[in-house]
Structure 1
Amino acid sequence: MDFDFSWLLLGLPIAFVLGWLASRFDLRQLRIENRQAPKAYFRGLNFLLNEQQDQAIDAFIEAVQNDPDTQELHFALGNLFRRRGEYQRAVRVHEHLLGRGDLSRADRDRAQHALAQDFLRAGLLDRAEAALQKLEGTRYENEARLSLLAIYERSREWAQAEDVAQKLDESDQASYGTRRAHHLCEQATERVAAGDLGGAGRLLQQAVALAPEAPRPAIDSATLQLRKGDAAAAFDTLAALSETAPLALPLYAAAMQQAAVASQRSGEALALLQRRYVASPSIDVLEAIIALGGTPALPDDAPSDAAISAQPRDGYIAHLAHHPSLVAASRWLAGERFEHEQFHPQVQRSLDQATRPLMRYRCAACGFEAHQYFWHCPGCQAWDSYPPRRVEEL
């Protein structure tokens, strides 16, 4: 059977027309999608500027569906999810980005950093730590180290925290010497609890070398020296500290008094405490003076009615003459005898209850109050944010 070429001549124009129509349809569809994507993007941007985050998310999702290859839309959508507290959706967006093979190195680092932020905000510290460690050597390195430092400090992993702080210190972005000294002091505290006094001493020596003017390494060193029975060395350490950090004296006045009594240097300690009390009166310094059997020295311009007797307890009266204090008044009344002595215990209990909140320390950064002095605030995680004075004296 011979082939009829007339069908071929007829089919070629038909194929051409069908191809042309198909191309026109594809181009039209592409134009429609390209017009829809920018519209959805700008609509989402408008919602975002008007703080309508729900509508903005819907618009960006539409834009991503129309143009799934656009990285910026994915980043915007992931950040919106994170701000909304929808951390699982943010994680999925950023993990999807990291799973793409066509992503540039810069965008991959950016997605890794965004994923780490998702985990941090969600409180998934283990996964955040792993994500942050992958940013070593990238432009997000220092930011990642700061976040790692916060994680290690919050979880009380002091050795890892000190390692990260050392890297930050070596990067010349800021000085982390005092912070590293805190980390070493925390490790020393753990060594003392474990009975390793020698190891604790070596750590404290490193802390003193890192931050020679910071009060904590010296205070912890003196406490360790007292524990070892070397009261003379403890007193020398604290006496030297009173020259470099006199404002922190209320924190170690009691330890100085104990070291002075144990090393038979009460007179030397009393003179030092009285001199510091005149410059900066404090209830803690006052009580150390009274415990040593002395009375607070008065300033040169003290009024004549501020005279006190030789009784150490009357030091509270001298303090009250210049610094009205419910705590000092309660301490003085505790040792006095009155006409209705049978009611004195009830009155004293009431006074003690009233003065207990006044004896707290308060964080200057977040206002967290505690009876114990904290170098690292449990509330806001800030270092050295507690003034060394009680609430009543602020």
Structure 2
Amino acid sequence: MEFDPRWLLIVLPAAFALGWLASKLDTRQWKREQRDAPKAYFKGLNLLLNEQQDKAIDAFIEAVQNDPDTSELHFALGNLFRRRGEYERAVRVHQHLLARGDLPRAERDRAQHALAQDFFKAGLFDRAEEAYAALRGTAFENEAQLALLSLYERSRDWRKAVEVARALEQGGTGSFASRIAHYLCELALEAQARQRDEEAQQLLAEARKVAPQAARAHVLAGQMLARNQQPEQAMAAYSELLALNPEAFNLIAGDYAEAALATASPELAQRALTTLAARYQRAPAMPLLQAIARLQPEPAQQRQRLARHLREHPTLSAARGLLQISGARLGEDEAPLVAGALDRAVRPLLRYRCAACGFEAAHYFWQCPGCLNWDTYPPRHVEEL
């Protein structure tokens, strides 16, 4: 059978017509989808503004199912819920993203990271730990490790904190020597509470090796030696601190003087007095002056030292000390009144203030209770800053 060319006159126009019709249908469908998608977004936004957050989430999920390219909306919604403290809703949003099979790998990692943040903010540390651990080998690994470090600090899991800090340091994130030293000190305190002094001493020795200039390990080592009736060794630990971190010596100047007195050695007491006086000449401070007074308690000498300090450094604590010694010059009824007024006035100034967040405390903290940063308290009272 021969092919009749006249059929081309029928087939070609028909094929062209069918192609044109199909393109028109695709264009209409695309336009319909583009028109329906904004409606879904506006519906979800309206529900959200009307405080119908559960229905808003469902509306947004429906929108994402119709248009897979709207995952960014989910991330924005989840972050919004997290900031509002609605962690359960944030978890639902990010878990839905992870359940999608068509989500690209980068977006899946991002959703996993967001979910870990939800658990962390909600205080679900065990689930947060698992979520952060799943980010190993991803672009979020470094952020996950830093978050885990904060998590272990809050849960006081110091051994894991040491492991993560060392891993971060080896990975080139930065130096974590000071924080590792703090973690080892925390472990030493736990060992000491369990009556394991030898283990505590080993941990403190490791902390001093990791961060020689960090003050805390030297302070704890000296205080532990003093409690164990080893005042000479305690003095040695405090002297080492003075050589490595002179500013922090103010924190234990009184302990240094007490250790010298506990030795019952006039020679060691005189050596301590000389050390304290030399330090005071370089950096005058009331804790040093008070430590000197323990070793040289004669009222006349104390009055002379306080008067000189008050002339050069007019502080209320020095005025109070001078009044306590020279109060006899006032009337019997006047001295207690003036002393009481000075006590009330000086009390807010005898506090330590965090340099990072301004949180003030009567006691010195190695980790600020306000911002949770380490070593942010200067070793001086507010009045001496």
TM-score normalized by the length of structure 1? 0.81
Please state how far the C-alpha of 1:110 moved relative to its aligned partner: 1.6
Would you say the 8 A contact 2:63–2:70 is kept in 1? no
Q: Does 1:389 align with 2:373?
A: no
Per-residue deviation, residues 332-373 of structure 1 (Å, max 9, x unmatched): 212331452144334423322222111111111111111110
SS of residue in 1 equivalent to 2:101: coil
Task: Provide, for residues 113-169 of structure 1, a one-character-per-residue CA deviation record: whole Å limited to 9, x for no partner.
Answer: 011112233343333222112222322111111111112212322222222212112
* Contact 1:361–1:371 (Cα < 8 Å) also in 2: yes
SS at match of 1:242: helix
Is 1:322 equivalent to 2:312 in the alignment?
yes
Q: Is the 8 A contact 1:81 1:90 kept in 2?
A: yes
Q: Which residue of 2 aligns with 1:188?
A: 188
> What is the aligned counterpart of 1:268 among 268, 271, 291?
271
* Structure 2 equivalent of residue 304 of structure 1: none
Q: CA deviation at 1:27?
A: 6.1
The Cα of 1:87 is off from its aligned counterpart by: 2.8
Give the unaligned 5+ runs of structure 1: 1-19, 48-52, 296-308
Q: Quick check: which one's helix share is greater? A: 2
Is 1:361–1:373's contact at 8 Å kept on the other side of the alignment? yes
Provide the C-alpha distance between the structure 2 equivalents of 1:339 and 1:256, rounded to a whole number of angstroms: 34
How far apart, CA to CA, are the structure 1 residues paired with 2:174 and 2:136? 18
State whether residues 270 and 294 of structure 1, in contact with CA within 8 Å, keep that contact through their aligned partners in structure 2.
no
- Distance change (3 Å), C-alpha of 1:97 and 1:339: closer
**What is the letter of the counterpart of residue 365 of structure 2?**
F
Residue 359 (str. 1) matches residue 350 (str. 2): yes
In 2, Cα distance between equivalents of 1:66 and 1:103: 14
Q: How many residues align?
A: 353
| Correspondence for 2:4 | none
**For 1:99 and 1:174, how far apart are their aligned partners in 2?**
36
Q: How far apart are the structure 1 equivalents of 2:86 and 2:362?
A: 38
1:219-258 aligned within 5 A: 219-258=219-258
Q: Per-residue deviation at 1:273?
A: 1.0
State the shift of 1:22 in Å.
11
1:55-134 matched pairs, under 5 angstroms = 61=60, 63-64=63-64, 66-68=66-68, 70-134=70-134
1:219 Cα deviation from its structure 2 partner: 1.2
* Amino acid in structure 2 at the alignment position of 1:344: A
Return 367-376 or 192-201, whichever deviates more. 192-201
The amino acid of 1:138's aligned partner reads T
Q: What secondary structure is seen at the aligned counterpart in 2 of 1:337?
A: helix
CA distance in 2, matches of 1:94, 1:213: 44
Distance 1:138 1:278 in 2: 55
Shift of 1:83: 4.0
Deviates more, 1:272-281 or 1:125-134: 125-134
Match of 2:294 in 1: 291
Distance across 1 between alignment mates of 2:223 and 2:86: 48
In the TM superposition, residue 82 of structure 1 has moved relative to its aligned partner by: 3.1
Give how far 1:106 is off.
2.8
Larger deviation: 115-124 or 241-250?
Answer: 115-124
Question: Separation in 2 of the partners of 1:334 and 1:376?
Answer: 34
Q: Aligned partners of 1:232, 1:194: CA distance in 2, in Å? A: 25
The 5-angstrom pairing of residues 177-216 of structure 1 reads 177-216=177-216
Paired amino acid for 2:328 = R
Instruction: Confirm whether residue 159 of structure 1 aligns to residue 159 of structure 2.
Output: yes
Does the 8 Å CA contact 2:116/2:132 hold for their aligned counterparts?
yes
Contact 1:290-1:315 at 8 Å conserved across structures: no
Task: Say if 1:364 and 1:385, in contact at 8 Å, map to a contact too.
Answer: yes
SS of 2:343's equivalent in the other structure is: helix
Check if 1:280 corresponds to 2:271.
no
Letter in 1 for 2:204: L
CA gap of 1:105–1:143, structure 2 versus 1, over 3 A, is same
Residue ranges of structure 2 left out of the alignment (5+ in a row): 1-19
* Distance change (3 Å), C-alpha of 1:339 and 1:218: closer
* Alpha-carbon distance in 1 for matches of 2:228, 2:329: 44
For 1:193 and 1:338, the matched residues in 2 are separated by 49
Residue 54 of structure 1 deviates from its aligned partner by: 5.0
Letter in 2 for 1:165: A
| Counterpart AA for 1:172 | G
Superposition CA RMSD, Å: 3.0
Q: Counterpart in 1 of 2:139?
A: 139
Change (3 A) 1:313 1:159: farther
**Cα 1:28/1:388, change in 2 over 3 Å:** same
